[in-house]
Amino acid sequence: MSMDRRQFIKIAGISTVLGFGGTLGLSKLKDSWASEMLQSPEALNAKHWAMVIDVKKLTSEEHYDKAISACHRAHNVPNIGNPKEEVKWLWKETYEHAFPGMEQEYMPEGIKHKPFLLLCNHCENPPCVRVCPTKATFKRESDGIVMQDMHRCIGCRFCMAACPFGARSFNWRDPRPFIKEQDENKEFPTRTKGVVEKCTFCYERLAKGEMPACVEAVKDTKALVFGDLSDPNSEVRKILSTHYSIRRKPELGTQPSVYYLIGGEENA
């Protein structure tokens, strides 16, 4: 069969029109079932979630372990054992590593050797979000939580390079064998090999009207306070306006949402 140019253009035109018709039909089909998706009524809401960690109130090792294991259990964080492949959402670090440049020789011994609880800072200006090529990491406009969409993460680890707080972990291997079966939280997924993960301020618990797992775990000490930074009457704002607090690496301008009280109120 031979075809001249005129015929070819005719057929191409007709099939393009038919093609458009097809996609229109498809989009109509899609609308027919698109029903409403809502927030759950019991969800906790805030314009800017923040956490205050009162280091003085964390007096024993047990407090740290409780908070860390509550977090890691709730989110099926594996315990791989090898520091090079470590996955961590909430962890302990010394003052000089947590606040480099802010240490000095004659600071109180109690602070110098005290472990600090570190987690994702949920920065107001998060560098990880800026560098993510797939928008797998993004800041929720509604409440300021810096989220990680594990479905979209391609494991490029730009975010790990960009994060100045080392708050992100990469899954070098399948984490499943490293989660004990009795510790597994059946309501939360694990991760797969090749994605980055981090603390998400327990967005899944907030949606159910619960406080983050670490806050819940050390509730009796009142060392971790979680609340809305945009609300002047919230507990976090009250604490921050009456106590001196520090944040990690303020010189970088990322504006962390995690504040540390390191004591010194007696003379403040």
Q: Output the smallest distance, CB 188 to other proteins, in A.
A: 8
Q: Output the smallest distance, CB 235 to other proteins, in A.
A: 23
Task: Report DSSP letters for 90-122, one per residue.
Answer: EEEE-HHHHSTTS--TTS-HHHHT--EEEE---
- Which residue lies nearer to other proteins by CB, 178 or 188? 188
Q: Output the smallest distance, CB 93 to other proteins, in A.
A: 28
- Which residue lies nearer to other proteins by CB, 136 or 262? 136
Q: Output the smallest distance, CB 68 to other proteins, in A.
A: 22
CB 169 within 8 A of CB 200: no
CB 190 within 8 A of CB 179: yes
- Which residue lies nearer to other proteins by CB, 5 or 30? 30
Please count the other Cβ atoms lying within 10 Å of the Cβ belonging to residue 239. Answer: 17
Q: Under the rule (CB under 8 A), what is the footprint of other proteins?
A: 30, 32-41, 43, 76, 138, 140, 142-143, 147, 149-151, 184, 186-192, 203, 207
CA distance 249 to 256: 9
Phi, psi (rounded to 5 degrees) for 203? -55, -30
Q: Tokens 């618990």 label which residue?
A: 205
Phi, psi (rounded to 5 degrees) for 146? -85, 115
CB 155 within 8 A of CB 133: no
Q: Output the smallest distance, CB 100 to other proteins, in A.
A: 33
- Which residue lies nearer to other proteins by CB, 181 or 220? 181
- Which residue lies nearer to other proteins by CB, 127 or 175? 175
Taking only Cα atoms into account, the Rg of the chain, rounded to an integer number of angstroms, comes to: 24
- Which residue lies nearer to other proteins by CB, 102 or 147? 147
Phi, psi (rounded to 5 degrees) for 228? -95, 115
Q: Output the smallest distance, CB 110 to other proteins, in A.
A: 40
Is beta strand 258-261 parallel, antiparallel or unpaired with respect to 49-54? parallel
Please count the other Cβ atoms lying within 10 Å of the Cβ belonging to residue 256. Answer: 24
Q: What angle do CA 205, 211, 213 make, to 5 degrees?
A: 75
Q: Output the smallest distance, CB 39 to other proteins, in A.
A: 6
- Which residue lies nearer to other proteins by CB, 54 or 197? 197
